[in-house]
Amino acid sequence: MENTIKSRIFELVEVNFGKFQMGLLPGIENILGVRLPNLRKLAKEIAGDDWRRFISSAQDDYFEETMLQGMVIGYAKTDINEIFNYISIFVPKINNWSVCDSFCSGLKITKAYRSETWEFLKPYLQSEEEYVLRFGIVMLINFYIENEYIDEVLKILDAVNLEKYYVNIAAAWAVSICFVKFPEKTMAYLENSNLDNFTYNKALQKITESFRVDKDTKIKIRSLKRTSEKVHYQ
């Protein structure tokens, strides 16, 4: 099955698109160049067939193969505990923001099992591994910036203390979404935040870039900028 899927992936390759993707994902050199809608179509097809066999035999020679596995997990029809098992196997394979964010957005089963998934995510949100922690944060962005969870989400973001670029960017993105959805609560948080200066200022920038934030509020947000944001990324 794996050889058949690999050949299907190669049929979808666009070389120039692959070069474009490499520019967005520094350090990731195993990109063939397949557009995400085409991978999703293939993932849906696999998920409607023997998807467990596919995942058990799937390889990670190419970026697209890893991306496809994450998509299939998202489309798979099974119980939440089996999904948790496949998530725990897949997350260590994540080595870039694109696979991470696509995987998270595809885990729509979370909406039906929000409290169970919240408990499942807690260890990931305490990880010191860059993409493991980013996975946890992006899951918060996709499914937990809601009234029931907003206070806990802000506490979790405030405790992020890992000098990893893609973690800090995700945390800033999360804070900006919190502000758009819960402006008063997030403004109070920003005025007493323990975020490092880079993440804090990046969150302010993302807030001011939102079309859902009015002009006067953006002026206020800009006034909160900290003067130093140097951080050493490992």
Shared domain for 6 and 95, answered yes or no, is yes
Instruction: Say what angle helices 97-106 and 63-75 make with each other, to 10 degrees.
Output: 10
- What pLDDT does residue 231 have? 59
Shared domain for 103 and 149, answered yes or no, is no
Shared domain for 165 and 72, answered yes or no, is no
Q: Is position 8 within any domain?
A: yes
Take residue 88 and report the two structure tokens written for it.
């725990």
Contact (Cβ atoms closer than 8 angstroms) between residue 174 and residue 180: no
At 99-148, the pLDDT tens digits run 999 999 999 999 999 999 999 999 999 999 999 999 999 999 999 999 99
Q: Where are the beta strands (DSSP E) in the chain?
A: none
At 201-232, the pLDDT tens digits run 999 999 999 999 999 999 999 999 998 755 55
Contact (Cβ atoms closer than 8 angstroms) between residue 98 and residue 134: no
What is the residue range of 179's domain?
145-234
pTM: 0.94
| DSSP 8-state code for residue 122 | T
Spatial separation of the C-alpha atoms in residues 230 and 196, rounded to whole Å: 9
The total domain count for the chain is: 2
Predicted confidence (pLDDT) at residue 181 exceeds the cutoff of 60: yes
Contact (Cβ atoms closer than 8 angstroms) between residue 103 and residue 66: no
Q: Is position 157 within any domain?
A: yes
Beta carbons within 8 Å of 124's beta carbon, 6+ residues apart: 91, 132, 133, 135, 136, 139
- What pLDDT does residue 232 have? 53
Shared domain for 78 and 168, answered yes or no, is no
- For the four alpha carbons of 213, 140, 40 and 33, in that order, the dihedral sign comes to positive
Q: Is position 53 within any domain?
A: yes
**Percent of the chain at pLDDT above 90?**
94
Shared domain for 1 and 101, answered yes or no, is yes
Predicted confidence (pLDDT) at residue 15 exceeds the cutoff of 60: yes
Mean pLDDT for the chain overall: 95
